Structure 1
């Protein structure tokens, strides 16, 4: 059985900015509304499954000079001392976010003294682990969950930075996200307007999937405790179709997760534009079922799309 708690994430840009220091240490708080929902779990063999902050860079406007001085002065004592490599004279961590079509943000990060290192991106309750390249750079596209999107970027020595951007077309999209930690792979499958598995309208992270929506998978398998996310997006404001989109989630039972409880969180942005969060506990089957898949038929509520 799943243990489910429902949340509603609210708050404005100013409140998010003021809470940056707290979020970097403690994560995003949420209030429970006490609702619960049942979840049906079916097991199937794989072959039988159908088919603090060192520098802040804001993309809108920079902080006032006196505020910047105060921030750096108050936080410099909290940061561990680092010696720049002989070929690096500037270790400043910086990031920029730019809105791109599809209600997404292109995030570029420069961390010249953190080549081939773990880096985490936080956005509207989501956290995803990535890895910089040998030069300490990262270029990542993330589907946004808020119109005025704030991205918090942190590295292992607890330094960090912030990037923001405006996502003007977010209101045109419904978005369903799952996040979890570890080696388990969760897969969102969307059957759009009566589609069947393997046909047009069956959308997943498979690059060959064809449909109006899109599933993006982000994570870093190089780290066993990485934060992973999978996001399904449907352009509800840009389609003339109406009807239902069936949502299912699949999870493979592996030696790494069998017999354990898997903590999962969903974040849903539907037609009322309220970002809702649910915490779920998924008991994985014992290790005799390794190699099988769980098919979660009602982990996520189906989407209902109205005609435009």
Structure 2
């Protein structure tokens, strides 16, 4: 009995190993097929399809309206992604479902728009049914199909060929390599357009204010600095003991030293206190002006918060005073303020 059980376990283990090896092999073959398909697309764009791609870029750059992207089924999912990529990289764009377009959503399309229709076969009935209206409006039509002789390709002002030799699906049925190639071509269009428009990091940040880059490029010092009574500050004649109380109450581990016109003339930090304690223990008669560091580093409120981070990291400090153009104290930053704002 034991021998039979051991034999069964060994066979099960061997079967599991073979299944795992087969799955891994299939995964690698899938990636290779899709990689080969993208490389084939790259070669076409460098050769016979270069003119069509350039013409498509020209239509997109001269579009006075929006880029409308449409497709059905798996092509519809790819169309949504392409529209989202255009929108996030400076080209106003949206997805329209062809079936919904036939029942009213076509009213969102205007003569100033460019319409990108995606269908690998180039014969999707839902898509083809709305294209006569698109053409009557005078909307420029870019088609992405795998069949240059298809009805959609012939109807288009520009046809972009996304043909693949085979799908990654073992049955050569499920859209896999073809959708990958279509998505890659959509990315190529968006990247080429954003570069031609001079789209930069700052523009991307404005479209992504909730992201890390958006916070880094859109957050200004004035947005997160401490102001008003929250700023630790003392006059130069203040006794050190009183200045230490101000430091403790404001919780920034430092205090600014300002003159009668609120101009910054110095700063005193916890680090300065530790160094001072190595020299003396009697602070009763010490004025802050005698031990402050003169001409401390500062930043203007309109500067980016990320610039404050750079100053702090470069000079290995945890606090930074904020001054206006006249050198007057208007705010203060602690490294923790930048952390809470997720600038770092």
Q: If the length of structure 1 is used for normalisation, what is the TM-score?
A: 0.21
Whichever of the two has the greater Rg, that structure is 2
Structure (1 or 2) with the greater helix fraction: 2
Q: If the length of structure 2 is used for normalisation, what is the TM-score?
A: 0.20
Structure (1 or 2) with the greater strand fraction: 1
Higher relative contact order (CA 8 A, sep 6+): 1
